[in-house]
Amino acid sequence: MLGYTITQWLFGIISFLSIMFALMVVFTRNPINSVLYLVLTFFCIAAHYLLLNAQFLAIVHIAVYAGAIMVLFLFVIMLMNLNQDSEPQKTMMSKLIAGIIGGLLLVVLVGALKGTEQLQLSQVGHSEIGIVKNLGRVLFHEYLFPFEIVSILLLSALVGAIMIGKKEIK
């Protein structure tokens, strides 16, 4: 098909969808719709992981981001009952300024990406690294210390969240 393999076609379609949904997150007025589009974006990113042969990462991405974090987002937005009317209207001036700043950022990014075609990416590891068995072996042998540090970081975040959530500290 037009000289592309199925994987390339899939990559194109999924990339298009993920960028489209990501834009819809920003452009929709209703916050609930934004959250739902963000969930769809996460699904597209999970599909990208699948294309990279990283099943574990893909499923965990769905379970954690789409399944847990976004549900909590939805929770909060539903409870606050935001809708189109309560959204603050920006003035023309601030829209103009935001447009210019965003455009400048785009120019900088394009400039920074201009020289990247000379960059040679060396493939690190092997293509089966995404399989859970290989991933676990690497994580718990070569990268055990960073892994433990990350777990302590998460634990401290957890404790902090509970402390903030408490009504009064005795």
Partner 1 sequence: MLEFIIYKSIICAIIFAVSLGIAAYSTWWERKFAGLLQDRWGPSRAGIWGLLQPLADGGKMLFKEEIIPNVSNKFLFVLAPALFIVTAIMAGVLIPWGPPVKIDETFYALQVSDINVGIIFLLGVTSIGVYGIMIGGWASNNKYSLLGAIRASAQMISYELAMGIALIALIITAGGTLSFSEIVAAQDKGFANIVWQPLGFIIFFICALAETNRAPFDLAECETELVGGYHTEYSAFKLGLFLFAEYINMFVSSAVMAGFYFGGYNFPFAHELYQAMGLQEGSWIISLIGFGSYFTKTLIFISVFMWIRWTIPRFRYDQLMNLGWKSLLPLSLLNLLITVIVEYFKGNINL
Q: How far is the CB of 71 from partner 1 (least distance, A)?
A: 5
Q: Is the dihedral of CA 159, 72, 41, 29 positive or negative?
A: negative
The residue range among 10-18, 70-78, 106-114, 119-127 that interacts with partner 1, by the rule CB under 8 A, is: 70-78
Asked if 63 is part of the footprint of partner 1 (rule: CB under 8 A), the reply reads yes
CB atoms closer than 10 angstroms to residue 71: 12
Among 26, 72, 112, 124, binds partner 1 (CB under 8 A): 72
Among 74, 82, 129, 138, binds partner 1 (CB under 8 A): 74
Asked if 143 is part of the footprint of partner 1 (rule: CB under 8 A), the reply reads no
Q: How far is the CB of 17 from partner 1 (least distance, A)?
A: 17
Among 71, 97, 157, 158, binds partner 1 (CB under 8 A): 71
* Structure token digits, residue 122: 């060396």
Q: Tell me how far apart the alpha carbons of residues 40 and 43 are, in angstroms, rounded to a whole number.
A: 5
Q: How far is the CB of 170 from partner 1 (least distance, A)?
A: 19
Eight-class DSSP state of 30: S
CB atoms closer than 10 angstroms to residue 66: 18
Asked if 11 is part of the footprint of partner 1 (rule: CB under 8 A), the reply reads no
Asked if 134 is part of the footprint of partner 1 (rule: CB under 8 A), the reply reads no
Asked if 66 is part of the footprint of partner 1 (rule: CB under 8 A), the reply reads yes
SS3 content of the chain, % helix, strand, coil (to 5): 80, 0, 20
What end-to-end distance do the CA atoms of the chain give, in Å?
Answer: 68
Nearest to residue 46, comparing CAs of 35, 56, 61? 61
| Contacting residues toward partner 1, per CB under 8 A | 30, 32, 36, 39, 55-56, 59-60, 62-63, 66-68, 71-72, 74-75, 78-79, 131-132
